[in-house]
Structure 1
Amino acid sequence: MRPAMAPTVSLVISTYNRPQALDRVLASVARQRVLPDQVLVADDGSGLETARVVARWQQGAGLAAGMPSGTGSVSAGGAASGVGAVAGTGSAPATGARVPAAAPATASPLAGRLLHVWQPDEGFRLSAARNRAIREATGELIVFVDGDCLLRPDFVEAHQQVAERGFATAGNRVLLGQAVTADIEAGRQNPLDWSCLRWLMAWRRGDVNHALGLLRLPGQGWRRMSGRPWRHFKGCNMALWRDDLVRLNGFEEEIAGWGFEDTDLILRWFNLGGRLKSGRFATTVLHLWHREAARDAAEQNERRARLAGSRGATAAVRGLAQLSDHDHYAPPGGI
């Protein structure tokens, strides 16, 4: 149940051809103490296996036996309604790991609130994928996470509590190691259920990079950051008000390839007079290990973002307003 006066939340999960990780992330969303009002998978062109994962959660295959404490793979299901509903049949794609079959499950808490917002695979176009999700979002507050970030059960509630008008929220992350990530994706363990002692043991082994990853600190005043601390703002865990995103014209789609679309957004937000609020020790996500993406465009993207910031730009040159009403795409395998 949403706390009184708390904003409605649209949770945007960006993904590209990592279905096992996405399945675990959706399972962590389903376990939220306060469910988001809407969940949008912002898909930058994944294949059929990702579409199947989303469809199964849409249709009603919920928490299953594939992972400890009900965070495993979901059972098979059919097509679902909404943007990007897909059928759960067909052959597996060449890309992406196949999600293991799971035991029959109860109805999904995400049924009726999960949308698959897909675009064709034309290279790394994260800004465009997120803009398409923003277009479909109905929540007052939009929280963005990556499709390989596990959410602790109080994640959505914590973002609601930290959110404040005039501020964007910079969440933080704990990095998980390669070995423990493999165990999580295989359903052998679930760090969301670790005790403090087990967490400290994992830190000493190098499975996590922060000993204090479970720590929660109260208060709001200390979270309000001064100046333009753009380095604190990471795309894997951030939140802005939807109407502020509209004023910014969303993410800059002129930035393609890996990196700095989040920097461009926050610098334009500062130019608009906005401020940044820290979500540390409240909105932490657990970031599964992955190989680094190709960063060929990083230097160019950083230059562009910094230039937009220094010139006082506020609205994206190519963003939400430039999206066509006719460029809605059906994911692989369905309508």
Structure 2
Amino acid sequence: SNSDSENFLFMKISLLITTYNWPEALELVLKSIQKQSLMPFEVLIADDGSDVKTKNVIDNFKRESVLDVKHIWHEDKGFRRTYILNKAIAKSSGDYIIQLDGDCILHSKFIEDHKRLSQKKTYLFGSRVNIKEEFLSKLFSDKNTKFSFFSKAISKRTRNLHLRLFSNRYKAISKLSNKLRGCNISYWKKDIIAVNGYNEDMTGWGKEDSEMAVRLINNGILGKRLRYSGIIYHIWHKENSRSSYNKNNEIEKFAIDNNLKWCKNGIDKYLN
């Protein structure tokens, strides 16, 4: 309908970036925002307790950029990504949230792609191109944010094909995809608030994004895959500790088995 397309025209996009004590990576991510074909309405940096080096990178970006940048920080008490995401989402003022991690450099059309492929009652999820470990020192010294299809620095290079025509073929589905990664998703703010955001019973690495998506799906929100669009470049790092994985997996299984649409320990405590 006409009114829908008008809403999309004026939709305000909040770009939400999670980070923890990796200022060198975050600096490149922020640099890639400056090169976007479409700028977000605001940038929210959800900081899970980084030290002052990260704050300095963000303050530099604030000085250089005309964008509205909000740094949401809490004390470091271990991996509490669900908490800081909820706090940042609560502080966002956009209608639509595009979420990525602070170790993922944006393709120049990243925001434009998410906006173009957004639909009502739908969340989007994309994949990532991998930047290889042996190229890290060169990456950080050159501060490069653009990678051609043939770049030696990347693996999974077919994910680096930007083909608008092909990306339009993917349909929204009501099934949780095992391709979902929290480092490249987008959703309507009202849809995530309707399921009470991230589940803060889930601390430590693993499953927090897919458990949230389970509740979105149970609440009638479909998932659409981004392929050949919405490209990001993930900077190699050592794997996170998996010590919380089993506990978090149980919480997700409970949400699936009980068709949960709401988590008790969620975002509502930050919304006034």
TM-score (norm 2): 0.92
Distance 2:139 2:133 in 1: 10
CA contact under 8 A between 2:103 and 2:235: conserved in structure 1? Answer: yes
1:190 aligned residue: 144
Q: How far is the alpha carbon of 1:183 from its aligned partner?
A: 1.6
Q: Is the strand fraction higher in 1 or 2?
A: 2
Deviation at 1:7, TM superposition (A): 2.2
1:120 match: 75
Structure in which a larger fraction of residues adopt helix: 2
Contact 1:268 1:314 (C-alpha < 8 Å) held by counterparts: yes
Q: Are 1:131 and 1:250, in contact at CA under 8 Å, matched by a contact in 2?
A: yes
With over 3 angstroms needed to count, the CA separation of the structure-2 counterparts of 1:10 and 1:277, relative to structure 1, is same
Q: Give the partner amino acid of 1:38.
A: E
Give the equivalent residue in structure 2 for 1:149: 104
1:39 aligned residue: 43
Moved beyond 6 Å, runs of 4+: none
Determine the structure 2 residue equivalent to 1:254: 201
Partner of 1:230: 177
Is the aligned partner of 1:179 residue 2:139?
no
Look at both structures and tell me which one has the larger radius of gyration over its CA atoms. Answer: 1
2:267 match: 320
Deviations 1:176-225 (CA, angstroms, capped at 9, x unpaired): 11122222122x26251x444x43xx17xxx4222451332326763223
Partner of residue 27, structure 2: 23
1:295 paired to 2:242: yes
Aligned position for 1:54 = 58
CA distance in 2, matches of 1:118, 1:270: 29
Q: Distance in 1 between matches of 2:182 and 2:173?
A: 20
Q: Distance in 2 between matches of 1:215 and 1:137?
A: 29
2: CA distance, partners of 1:220 / 1:290: 29
* Cα displacement (A) at 1:302: 1.1
Q: Distance in 1 between matches of 2:268 and 2:56?
A: 31
DSSP-derived class of the 2:246 partner: helix
Deviations 1:245-276, CA, capped at 9 Å, x for gaps: 11011100010000100011110111101111
Counterpart code for 1:264 = E
Residue type at the aligned position of 1:190:
N
Question: What is the letter of the counterpart of residue 54 of structure 2?
Answer: T
Output the amino acid matched with 2:92: A
Which residue identity is paired with 2:43?
V
Task: Summarize the Cα distance change of 1:219–1:315 in structure 2 as closer, same or farther, 3 Å threshold.
Answer: same
Q: Percent identity?
A: 29
Taking structure 1 as the reference length, the TM-score comes to 0.75
1:324 to partner: Cα distance = 7.6
**d(CA) in 2 for partners of 1:323, 1:215:** 38
Rate the CA distance shift 1:324–1:195 in 2: closer, same or farther, 3 A.
closer
Q: Output the CA distance in 1 between the equivalents of 2:131 and 2:167.
A: 28
Structure 1 gaps, min length 5: 63-107, 326-335
